Amino acid sequence: MTAPQNKPDLHEDPIREHTYDGIQEYDKRLPNWWLWTLYGSIIFSIGYWFYYEQSGAGPTGIEKLESRMVELEAARLAAGVGKPEDSILWEMSRNEAFLSSGRRIYETNCVACHGTDLRGGVGNNLIDDTWLHGGLPSQMWDVISDGVLEKGMPGWGTLIGERSVSAVTAYILSYHEEGPEGQARPR
| Binding site residues, ligand HEC, CB under 6 A | 109-110, 112-114, 122-124, 126, 131-133, 140, 143-144, 148, 151-154, 156, 168
Would you say 64 or 151 has its CB closer to ligand HEC? 151
Q: How far is it, in rounded angstroms, from Cα 179 to Cα 163? A: 24
CB of 173 to ligand HEC, least distance (A): 10
CB of 187 to ligand HEC, least distance (A): 17
Would you say 91 or 142 has its CB closer to ligand HEC? 142
Q: How far is it, in rounded angstroms, from Cα 173 to Cα 140? A: 9
- Of 134, 114, 143, 120, nearest to 184 (Cα)? 134
CB of 113 to ligand HEC, least distance (A): 3
Q: How far is it, in rounded angstroms, from Cα 180 to Cα 175? A: 16
Q: How far is it, in rounded angstroms, from Cα 99 to Cα 169? A: 9
CB of 134 to ligand HEC, least distance (A): 6
Cα 20 to the center of its chain, rounded Å: 58
CB of 82 to ligand HEC, least distance (A): 17
- Of 62, 87, 67, nearest to 77 (Cα)? 87
- Please give the helix or strand (H or E) that residue 178 lies within, else none: strand 176-178
Q: CB of 15 within 8 A of CB of 27?
A: yes
Would you say 59 or 134 has its CB closer to ligand HEC? 134
Would you say 13 or 117 has its CB closer to ligand HEC? 117
CB of 141 to ligand HEC, least distance (A): 8
Would you say 75 or 132 has its CB closer to ligand HEC? 132
Would you say 15 or 112 has its CB closer to ligand HEC? 112
Determine the 3-state secondary structure of 185 from DSSP: strand
Q: How far is it, in rounded angstroms, from Cα 27 to Cα 57? A: 44
